[in-house]
A and B are shown apart, each in its own frame.
Chain A
Amino acid sequence: SQTIHQWPATLVQPVGSPLSLECTVEGTSNPNLYWYRQAAGRGLQLLFYSVGIGQISSEVPQNLSASRPQDRQFILSSKKLLLSDSGFYLCAWSGGRNTIYFGEGSWLTVV
């Protein structure tokens, strides 16, 4: 069966510091991969999606970036965090069928 792992689960980072959130999927090949952000009281917002290695589409202009160095690895990064980057970040994947499955999420607090 397919599983998705995302880490770290929580982190507190100062303004201006870098960020790296990692996500891996097991049990499938060539998945579509996604990064979402969920703000309190709001729906999930798609940040990035990838249909293959090195192929990244950005949905929202911001100081975040994403990379896909391997087929089942997706990384969300920032060079300098802003207070507004605080939130709940979710990695997700989809396969041949169009259902999207989510990881457990990462809580980011920028202080």
Chain B
Amino acid sequence: EDQVTQSPEALRLQEGESSSLNCSYTVSGLRGLFWYRQDPGKGPEFLFTLYSAGEEKEKERLKATLTKKESFLHITAPKPEDSATYLCAVQGGRGDSWGKLQFGAGTQVVVTP
């Protein structure tokens, strides 16, 4: 069964204090690893898809990386508007996992001025 574990559960940062979020996963034949941002009371907003180990993607202050067992979301010099819950999900490519997203519980990030 596909599993996704995110850590830490919560992260409090000062503005400008860079940090990383971790997403550890097990999946049958990875089709993709996804990062989403979710603001309170809203639906998740798509950030990145990573397909293979070694791949990296960037968007503004966010950078996502992927290995065979985990992914990191690096937040560089965060601003208060980066406060949100960040969700990681994997999409399997074999058997019952095919095409389905398995989500982690998320990391709640609060950036204070």
Contact = CB atoms under 8 A, between A and B. Distances in A.
A43 B87 contact: yes
Interface residues of B, number: 23
Q: Which of A44, A97, A104, A107 has the most CB of B within 10 A?
A: A44
Interface of B: 4, 31-32, 34, 36, 41-46, 49, 87, 89, 91, 99-106
Contact of B42 (A43, A45, A105): A105
Contacts, number: 50
B92 to A, nearest CB: 11
A104 B100 contact: no
A98 B105 contact: no
Tell me the interface secondary structure of chain A in the complex: strand
Contacts of B99: 32, 98
A99 B49 contact: yes
Tell me the interface secondary structure of chain B in the complex: strand
A101 B104 CA distance: 17
A44 B104 CA distance: 8
Interface of A: 6, 32, 41-46, 49, 59, 90, 92, 97-105, 107
A98 B43 contact: no
Contact of B103 (A43, A59, A104, A107): A43
